[in-house]
Amino acid sequence: MSSEPDPQVLQAFRVNNPSTVARTKIANVFKVHRSDGEPAALKIYHEPGLANEAPGVRLLEDLAGCSAARIFAKDNIAVLLEWLPGPSLGDFVRAGDDGAAARHLGDVAAALHRAAPEAHADYPKLETWFTALFDLHFAPACPIDARADIEACKVLALHLLATQTDCVALHGDLHHDNVRRGSRGWCAFDAKGVVGDPAYEFANAFRNPDGGEAVYLDAGAQKYRASVWAGALGVSQNRLLAWAAVKCALSIAWRSEGPVADDPDFETLSILMHLARSSPEQP
């Protein structure tokens, strides 16, 4: 598949001068310029339907720029959105300032939840994501400890899903590299758009960003993150950590092609499960 944008897409969105920003499994992202000369980000998906981000694009529209990238235009294959020059919060972590990154990410999440649409019946529900985890099986080579952690996460996921309260429209993939600074401050992008427990919002952040292993493999740093993020949303630290462990196991399930034997997140999962189990609170 060509990495160059289709000229017809450029014409349809009235943009020009494309330069490649990122290439992912589901889309290519380009920096472009609008007719007024202002930069924008053009995300062109590999298949029609906006992959698994159609609800997330709708959520960004509903958020109307409140701590989120503005959507300028969209069709069935591409989205034109606000240009966020950066840095990202992931850059903060990689530069050694996880504390500032955690605080900024907490502020962004709180703002997103305050602005989230009250009418969210059309968004998918969080529980629909977990089939892959519940169906996951193990290869003989899978380490015993990892197998035990994942089986515990299956039970924990059922409990967390059954005890959700005050569900809201969630970004669904809020982590450090999905928040960048723009002219209006820190803004989230690449939302998934799902309805569920507010405490789920940071679930993926505990195993991010890429290049931040020194932080997310450190139990003390993860405890600090849990404290900051629980305070930002007014939820329990234990429930945050429990969702983080469950999401880590879910990511392992999503990556597996058949029975799981090995995965780079086994160590992260072990740390998160230990923290969730050692918390005095009930998830």
* Residues 60, 191: Cα–Cα separation, whole Å: 7
**Residue 70 DSSP symbol:** P
> Please, which residues have CB within 8 angstroms of residue 39's CB and are 6 or more apart in sequence?
31, 32, 33, 83, 85
Q: What per-residue confidence (pLDDT) applies to 280? A: 67
Q: Do 206 and 222 contact (CB within 8 A), yes or no?
A: yes
What mean pLDDT, rounded, does the chain reach?
Answer: 95
Paired tokens of 209: 């960003």
Provide the CA 61 distance to its chain's centre, in angstroms: 17
How far apart are alpha carbons 28 and 138 in whole angstroms?
A: 34
pLDDT in tens, 174-221: 999 999 999 999 999 999 999 999 999 999 999 999 999 999 999 999
Mean pLDDT of 19-32: 95
Among the listed residues 52, 57, 63, 53, the one whose alpha carbon sits nearest the alpha carbon of residue 80:
57
How far apart, in Å, are the Cα atoms of 28 and each of 16, 89, 156, 173? 16, 21, 36, 18
Instruction: Return the pLDDT at 279.
Output: 73
Token pair of 66 as six digits: 């409140």
Q: Which one has a higher pLDDT value, 280 or 25?
A: 25
Is the model's pLDDT at 227 over the cut of 80? yes
Residue type, 40: A
The model's confidence at residue 1, banded by pLDDT at 50, 70 and 90, is: very low
